[in-house]
Structure 1
Amino acid sequence: MFIDEVAAKIQATERHVQELEASKRMSLAIKDISSTRQWEPLQALLEEKRQLAMLRMCGMNVDDRTRGDLAAEVRVLGWLAEQPLAAARDVPAMEQQIKMCREEINALSRRVPQKRPQ
């Protein structure tokens, strides 16, 4: 039992590190959009972050409220990843949209699930 708990914590930590790395690459890609007007790298990163959120949603010890938050994160990231390349022409507006979504996602990921009263 103890080994299973340790393994689960290690897996959760690895997923968290992957999410942090994806967030860092996303920030760099957003800066890159401003200078190069290329949308494709950000689309790939958004899809990666969406997949990580889906993995978290399917993970162990996820209560219904957290699962709902992660489902919202998956929807936002999926919408962003599906935006047409033409949206890259209006970079300031897309950067603002991405910034708002990223702030919302970060707020969701910082939220600690409340334990239910027994």
Structure 2
Amino acid sequence: MDAVRAVAEPRRREILRLVWDEELSAGEIADRFDVTFGAVSQHLKVLRDAGLVTLRRDGKRRFYRADREGMGPLADYLASMWAARLDALAELAEAAEAAEAAERDEKSEGTTQ
């Protein structure tokens, strides 16, 4: 499977996001999902076969990390997609905070009059 088709699946994109900046064990990755360990393991295999993650073994444990170099231009696309989502989330949080502050101000003005 090619890299673009591999990341078309939302759980695989989420796995990539989890291992983007840090190495995680297969168990740590699986703990973050509401599917079986076997399902996550299959997703990891697809990502590995597509060259999107690297695998390091330490005894019985397997550790995964995003292979940004192996992704080529796809790495820049994914990074910008996640950055845009974070920017949108930050904007929503700021708007909610401003709305709460305005509501507090209205309530405090109402009690002083």
Same fold per TM (> 0.5)? no
Specify the structure having the higher radius of gyration (Cα): 2
Higher helix share: 1
Q: TM-score with structure 1 length normalisation?
A: 0.29
Q: Point out the structure with the larger strand share.
A: 2
| TM-score computed with the length of structure 2 as normaliser | 0.30
